[in-house]
A = this chain, B = another copy of it.
Amino acid sequence: MTPPAGRQAGRQGGVTLAMVARRAGVSPQTVSNAINAPELLRPDTLERVQQAIEAMGYRPHRAAQALRTRSSRLIGYGIQSVAVDRSTPVMDRFLHALTQTAEEAGHRILLFASPTGPALLSAYQELLDTYSVDGFVLSDTTRGDPRQAWLEKHGVPFAAFGRMWTGRQIGDFVDIDGAAGIEAAVDHLVELGHTRIGFLGWPRGSGAGDDRALGWKRAVQRHGLPSRGRRAESTDEVAHAAAAVEPLLDAGMTAIIAASDTLAMGCYRALRDRDLSPGQDVSVVGFDDSPAAALVSPGLTSIDQPMTTVGRECVRLLLARVADPAREPEHVVLAPTLVVRESTVTPPSDRLTP
């Protein structure tokens, strides 16, 4: 395994197809075929060409390929301009999976700052025009997000992380079954002996948030537990959450399921303000399994979203569509898993007194 000889790593350098062809004693086109359609070559020719490629450390020049084929093997991904802190803590895992998977398929991720407002779509337009990206991965999709419709209308392949919560589905998407995650949390709490389980969610209107609330409602009803008036709402800030959870605590809930880890931290705060201990006095469950969940004490039981799988699937769906624009849209819904830590225990009343 010696490093390719005759290869200058420097800025200009450039072993071209033609150079390899000369060395292998074939035409440039044959070298091209050796790479893109090896089955066309006679075995011995293929062998000879491959050796020349190896020996010279040849690598096709993407710009030239892109110019000719109009495909850059680039996948565009727009990161939010203003940090929407909602699910940020786990997005790096997503981005990493995107990069990794794309790479394994010979593609790369091109980042751009996804603007807000009217400039949004023109940013996608620009990437198509200038970099001829093969497609896009969307995330942080919102209700009434204009991107899917625009991309479909223009025949641009894309895969979204997040289903459309309104109207018909457009295109391929990967999403997480938030409702199922919350249901699993309710089951876990019921198993521990809880019968008064409250839910602290986001204000109505966000697709994912409403889905999580629905999961809670379904599960408590399935267990024959009270659900009316046991739901609080708060934006994603600790202080607001702490205030919003008050009525639930007043109502004697022994466990709170929050729609995010941030909201769960609000529960922690509210409990401490009442001189109660999270876990010990009232069980708490979060959502996201962000790094903070493992850090706090008591460790926060939380619902882990399989972000790595989500990223991988997004790339898979996207590349499948690039390969076959006419294929049926594919929807992947993944189940999250409950990560149990110290914040969920048997309710005080069930415990044996020492």
Contact = CB atoms under 8 A, between A and B. Distances in A.
A291 B88 contact: yes
Interface string A98-120: 11100100001111110000000
21 contacts: A10-B156, A14-B129, A59-B126, A59-B130, A62-B63, A63-B63, A63-B67, A89-B89, A89-B291, A91-B92, A92-B92, A108-B110, A108-B112, A109-B111, A238-B297, A268-B296, A290-B292, A291-B292, A292-B295, A292-B296, A295-B296
Of the listed residues A66, A93, A155, the one surrounded by the most CB atoms of chain B closer than 10 A to its CB is: A66
A33 to B, nearest CB: 19
Given A11-B154, A96-B79, A129-B59, A272 B291 contact: no
A272 B278 CA distance: 12
B238 A9 contact: no
Interface string A319-343: 0000000000000000000000000
A21 interface: no
Given A12-B70, A272-B297, 14 more contacts: A9-B154, A10-B155, A11-B155, A61-B67, A62-B130, A63-B63, A63-B131, A79-B99, A83-B92, A83-B96, A95-B95, A110-B111, A265-B295, A292-B296
A244 to B, nearest CB: 16
B83 A93 contact: yes
A40 interface: no
Interface in A78-95: 79-81, 83, 85, 88-89, 91-93, 95
Interface string A47-61: 000000000000111
A309 interface: no
A344 interface: no
A112 B99 contact: yes
A289 to B, nearest CB: 13
The count of identical subunits is: 2
Interface residues of A, number: 63
Interface of A: 9-14, 59-64, 66-67, 70, 72, 74, 79-81, 83, 85, 88-89, 91-93, 95-96, 98-100, 103, 108-113, 125-126, 128-132, 154-156, 238, 261-262, 265, 268-269, 272, 290-292, 294-297
Contacts of A131: 62-63, 108
A273 B60 CA distance: 60
Contacts of A113: 96, 99-100, 103
Contacts of A83: 92-93, 96
Of the listed residues A9, A10, A60, the one surrounded by the most CB atoms of chain B closer than 10 A to its CB is: A9
A173 B262 CA distance: 35
A96 B64 CA distance: 29
Contact of A67 (B10, B67, B99): B67
Contacts of A295: 238, 261-262, 265, 292, 296
Contacts of A9: 125, 128, 154
Closest 9 CB pairs of A and B: A292-B292, A63-B66, A59-B129, A265-B295, A109-B111, A269-B297, A9-B154, A63-B67, A63-B63
A272 to B, nearest CB: 5
Nearest to A122: B3
Contacts of A108: 110-112, 131
A126 B113 CA distance: 25
